[in-house]
Copies of this chain bind each other. A is one copy, B any other.
Amino acid sequence: MILVKVVVIALGGNAFLRKGQRGVVDEQWDNVSKAMKQVADIVEKGYRVILTHGNGPQVGNILEWMEALAYKIPPLTMDIANAMTQGWLGYMIQQALHNELMRRGINRVVLPIINRVLVDKYDSAFRNPTKYIGPYYTKEEAQEIAIKKGWIMRLDPRGGWRRVVPSPNPIDNLEVEAIKKLVNEGYIVIASGGGGIPVIKENKEFRGVEAVIDKDLASEVLATKLGADYLVILTDVDGVMLNYGKPSQKLLRKLTVSEAEKLYKAGHFPPGSMGPKVLACIRFIKHGGEKAFIGHLYKALDTLEERSGTVILPD
């Protein structure tokens, strides 16, 4: 009997766009190709891989396009904008990974799927939106937009007024059974892109909502529902740090879930960056996962094999 570990890998924004880049399409392909060499290393070792990815800058671009031409082309909603990034980034990952695997003589199908993630329509995030999205506006523009469109506008500390939308908690992945079947067939599935298309269930049907689901929390739901062994969150730092950015900064190489939870609850990890990553790992282990990892995108296999990054384990 061969034991094959099933690994959900969540790619951070640096898989598509690196610091200082404007996002020219050739740069994007270079970044994705570089990231897929890392993923191919893991596939080549025999792991069964499911990929998920963020979409912050890309969904931002789409919303900015829509707003700029709103006078001419009726703008679409955020669920559709998310679906568009699943197409865009899913295709780039598919093509780059397929090419890299062919180069290595590995014959595997890479299949991005359009994937919805269920949230609760009574989630408190709908009463308290916190996620900044789309273009920046002046205060006057923001006031006008708030009246005209009913959007909630807040001052983003990064400079300028922006729309805020809810970031509700993911509770289920609507396509998980199909993903499981595909993974069992040996396919490399790309799913839950950008946190998944956010939908609620209402009057016995599914309906998209104007919200953004955190991609790491959505990856955890996917990994847990799939019964994956490992969850690997790849980003642009080497792992979970104490005192991040200070002279006393310290990489934590190994944490039990209780240790991680204690640090998380004490507020050591900022929301919107390391916070949800650590929370996703805590949830994954509590839901029965074997190991969760946080590491640098360019040290993916090293992270998974514990030569780099942070591993979070059951107590």
Residues of A within 8 A of B (CB): 22-25, 61-62, 64-66, 68-69, 72-77, 79-80, 83-88, 90-92, 94-95, 98-99, 102-103, 109, 111-114, 116, 175, 177-178, 181-182, 185, 187, 190, 197, 199, 204-208
Contacts and interface: CB of A to CB of B under 8 A. Distances in A.
Given A112-B114, A116-B95, A181-B185, A83 B73 contact: no
B61 A95 contact: no
Contacts of A185: 181
Contact of A206 (B61, B98, B206): B98
Contacts of A102: 204-205
Given A23-B74, A112-B113, A113-B114, A80 B65 contact: no
Given A80-B25, A88-B80, A205-B103, A94 B69 contact: no
Given A64-B69, A83-B88, 13 more contacts: A22-B74, A23-B74, A25-B75, A62-B84, A80-B91, A83-B92, A84-B84, A84-B88, A95-B199, A95-B208, A102-B204, A102-B205, A103-B205
A103 B206 contact: no
Contacts of A68: 65, 68-69
A91 B114 contact: yes
Number of chain copies forming the complex: 2
Of A69, A73, A84, A181, the most chain B CB neighbours within 10 A belong to A84
Contacts of A111: 113-114, 175, 178
A79 B91 CA distance: 9
Contacts of A87: 83-88, 90, 114
Contacts of A66: 65
A19 to B, nearest CB: 16
Contacts of A205: 99, 102-103
A165 B286 CA distance: 53
A114 B90 contact: yes
Contact of A109 (B76, B83, B177): B177
Contacts of A187: 178
A76 B17 CA distance: 14
A114 to B, nearest CB: 4
27 contacts: A24-B74, A25-B75, A61-B73, A62-B65, A64-B69, A65-B66, A65-B68, A65-B69, A68-B69, A76-B88, A80-B92, A84-B84, A84-B85, A85-B87, A86-B114, A91-B116, A91-B197, A94-B114, A102-B204, A103-B205, A109-B175, A109-B177, A109-B178, A111-B175, A112-B114, A113-B114, A181-B185
Contacts of A75: 25
A86 B112 CA distance: 11
